[in-house]
Amino acid sequence: MCDFCNHMHHDEPVNQMPLIGDKAPEFIANTTNGKINFPADYSGKWVILFSHPADFTPVCTTEFMTFQSMINDFNKLNTDIIGLSVGTLTGHLAWIKAIKEIQYKDWKDMQITFPIIDDMNMEIAKKYGMIHDNESNNKTVRAVFIIDPVGIIRTILYYPLTIGRNFDEIKRTLIALQTTDAFQVATPADWMPGDAVVVPAPTTTDAMNSRLKNNDKNLDVKAWFLTLKRVSLTDIEKALAKQTSKKKK
């Protein structure tokens, strides 16, 4: 208790899930692809760390097949995927083998290639706030953490046990993060790659007046505080390729 203000102060969150902007909590884990040391092993890459409630469950099976079907897209975006549930490696492996036998949508003979963490003791799930006791005290909810190449959590999504996630939205969010980083912009509602982005609002009277008198034909000034700018898909792809090659050096 603080002697001055009668409140608790903590340098680090205590018993609290990490938040956007926080360093991703570190862990060492056994996975279906071997041991990983996170985030050190993934330095220079974006990572999507996601939890699913349990192996051999129907919604999770559709999610795994959907995510796997997009794996090349994510790899091209310099992004690795890591799955986690409160389950053993044996359980994960048996489920992956069973998924290979399933025909769903256009997919069959599908090999899950991303690692799945054995988190039987819920150590990592608890570190990441993936156990929501009143939803289930022994299954992880459907959490998604998008973590950047320097290990900072940039987006967190949560869905309940019964609702399968929208993986196009996860990909859209990842591209939006990479685009906003590359161009120092923001993205408007329902933005899709190729749509106009939002440029920062002016912060002085002079800048506001000059924005209103805009003669930059790339800018579409809706109001002094809302200005759109076109960034082509090619520009985005070029910028992202540059980021990736810089990280790999």
| Residue/partner pairs of 229-232 with CB below 8 Å, 24 or more apart | 229/185, 229/196, 229/197, 229/198, 229/199, 230/196, 231/179, 231/183, 231/185, 231/196, 231/197, 232/194
* Catalytically annotated residue among 60, 77, 82, 144: 60
Query: In the complex with ligand BEZ, which residue's Cβ is closer, 135 or 220?
Result: 135
Nearer Cβ to ligand BEZ (6/162)? 162
User: Which residues bind to ligand BEZ, rule: CB under 6 A?
Assistant: 53-54, 57-60, 139, 161-162
- Please work out, in degrees rounded to the nearest 5, the angle formed at the alpha carbon of residue 26 by the alpha carbons of 138 and 68: 65
Active site residue 2: no
> Quick one: 56 or 225, whose CB is closer to ligand BEZ?
56
Calpha distance 35→169 (Å, rounded): 29
| CA distance readout (Å), 234 to 25, 145, 161 | 35, 27, 38
- Catalytic residue set: 60
